[in-house]
Structure formats: structure tokens, C-alpha cells
């Protein structure tokens, strides 16, 4: 069937794969390969039941993120879908700390200190500069995904001992 061929779900790489700890490079030109990457990321995010995904999580060290943060439990898929190229936090207000999970760090939840509200600047897939302003879960998800682009994971907010336990456990499960 035609639509199956257009679906491009790939594997989400897991900690402690070293690709996840490297900084990603800015996108210089939004060519068809970038749009293809974004499509693959969106399909992979939905297939993994995630609310966000960063390019390094599928092994591409480029500054690209996708998000679809629902407003509530019954939030419709695709309603808040966004792709951001070269995103950066330009403004942050307030403080919040919630338990975060990550598709690359399965079965682990970590309380991470974040801004409560952020303004993020980036480019959309047409190369237009856009500003995303958000609070709550959207603000946390934006900061989480941008962390990935800087090679930073939720385990980096744990103590060294706890991080080591997670690393050994996941290494056993997924290799790397
Ligand atoms: Zn993550």
C-alpha cells in the first residue's frame, strides 16, 4: 500500500549511545533532506508515543526538533504538531520541576529544573523565523528537546552514582 512506503519509522537510540552526548550542528540550508528528516522524526515520535523528539535521538547530529504536546489527556494527535530548526531559548521565566521521561532513557523518570515559561526562536520548515511561546508541559518539552541538541540528557541531572546505575542497566538492555 502506498502510504506504508511513505512511513519512515526508525529506531530511537538509547543511552548510553555516545551520539546522544554530542552537540548537534546548526542546519545551514533547509533542503529536501531536512524535510525528509523532519517527516521521519514525526513518524518515529508518534510510533514511539512520544510528545517530542530531537534529531540526535535517531542518530542525526542536526539542530532539529519536533513536538506535539497535547493540551489535556484526550488531546488530539497532530493538533499541536510543530517542527523547529535551530531552536534556541531566548527568554525564560519562573521555575518548575516535574518528573521527565525520555524515549532514549526508557523506564527512567528524573526531576529536572526548568523555566516555567519560555520563548523559543527557530525556523519552520519553509525557513521562516518563528517564535514559540509556551508554559507548562510545552515549556518543559521545548527545553528537554533543546537539551538533546546540546548533548544533554535527563540523566545528566542525576547524581553521579544514580547516573551510573542507569547507565549500566540500560547498557545491559540495549548495548552501546
Ligand atoms: Zn528526550
Write down the domain spans for the chain: 2-174
Give the SS3 label for residue 31.
Answer: coil
**pLDDT mean across residues, the chain:** 93
Average pLDDT over residues 99-126: 97
The CA 67 to ligand 1 mean position distance, Å, reads: 11
DSSP code per residue over 97-149: EEEEEETTEEEEEEEEEE-SEEEEEEE-TTS-EEEEEEEHHHHHHHHHHHHHH
Q: What is the pTM of this model?
A: 0.94
pLDDT, tens digit (0-9, with 9 covering 90-100), for 49-105:
999 999 999 999 999 999 999 887 777 788 899 999 999 999 999 999 999 999 999
Active-site residue, 29 included? no
Residue found by looking up cell 535521538 in the block: 57
Kindly name the residue from 91, 99, 107, 145 that is annotated as catalytic. Answer: 145
The predicted model gives 140-155 an average pLDDT of 98
Q: Which has more pLDDT, 74 or 110?
A: 110
What superfamily in CATH does domain 2-174 come from?
Peptide deformylase (3.90.45.10)
Amino acid at each position: 500500500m502506498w502510504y506504508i512506503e511513505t512511513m519512515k519509522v526508525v529506531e530511537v537510540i538509547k543511552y548510553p549511545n555516545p551520539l546522544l552526548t554530542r552537540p548537534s550542528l546548526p542546519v545551514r540550508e533547509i533542503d529536501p533532506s531536512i524535510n525528509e528528516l523532519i517527516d521521519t522524526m514525526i513518524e518515529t515520535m508518534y510510533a514511539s508515543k512520544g510528545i517530542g523528539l530531537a534529531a540526535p535521538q535517531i542518530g542525526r547530529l542536526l539542530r532539529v526538533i519536533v513536538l506535539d504536546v497535547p493540551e489535556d489527556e484526550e488531546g488530539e494527535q497532530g493538533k499541536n504538531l510543530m517542527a523547529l530548526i535551530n531552536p534556541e531559548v531566548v527568554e525564560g521565566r519562573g521555575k518548575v520541576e516535574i518528573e521527565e521521561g525520555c524515549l532514549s532513557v526508557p523506564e527512567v523518570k528524573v526531576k529536572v529544573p526548568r523555566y516555567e515559561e519560555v520563548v523559543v526562536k527557530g525556523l519552520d520548515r519553509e525557513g521562516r523565523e518563528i517564535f514559540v511561546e509556551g508554559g507548562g508541559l510545552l515549556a518543559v518539552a521545548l527545553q528537554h528537546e533543546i537539551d538533546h541538541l546540546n548533548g544533554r540528557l535527563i540523566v545528566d541531572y542525576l547524581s553521579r552514582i544514580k547516573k551510573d546505575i542507569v547507565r549500566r542497566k540500560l547498557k545491559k538492555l540495549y548495548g552501546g
